[in-house]
Amino acid sequence: MSFNLGSGRLSAEINVTPLIDVLLVLLIVFMIITPVEPRGLFANIPQQGGNASSTDSAVVLQLSENPGGTPSLAINHQELAWDNLRNRLLEIYKARADGVLFIKGESDVEFEYVARAIDVAHGANVTRVGLIP
């Protein structure tokens, strides 16, 4: 605030120079703090093509829509019941070094069942789960 004594009126003007200095300092600080490398979620996506041994060794859990409501399960094209899923996954991953499971759900399958399958897989020592659209 400054007083203009010559005219007898009060003048209220903000001095913006210190505010601009603070703004520039904050801008420089945030530019330095911001990471240069973008970060996000890392996902394992199965590659098409390649050698046949890598596709044969992949474990794919497929969920297919059933008219009865609960989707049917198949591990590498072998039919399976929901009650036996955990035991079958424990049996498969007991001898495997990698804990990667791919889950493929049809478009009609609700995500509730996919999430349930992921939960059962994590309980069966599966470390990484990939989703196949």
| 22, 66: one domain | no
Structural domain includes residue 88: yes
Structural domain includes residue 41: no
| 28, 63: one domain | no
Structural domain includes residue 123: yes
Give the count of domains, the chain.
2
Q: Kindly state the tokens that stand for 68.
A: 């009865």
Range of the domain at 22: 2-33
Structural domain includes residue 39: no
- pLDDT average, residue stretch 7-24: 82
pLDDT, tens digit, 9 for 90 and up, residues 109-123: 888 888 999 999 988
Structural domain includes residue 43: no
Radius of gyration of the chain measured on its C-alpha atoms: 30
Q: Chain-wide mean pLDDT for the chain?
A: 81
pLDDT of residue 24 exceeding 90: yes
Q: How far apart are CA 47 and CA 128, in angstroms?
A: 16
Confidence of residue 18 (pLDDT cuts 50, 70, 90): confident
Q: Kindly state the tokens that stand for 118.
A: 């992921």
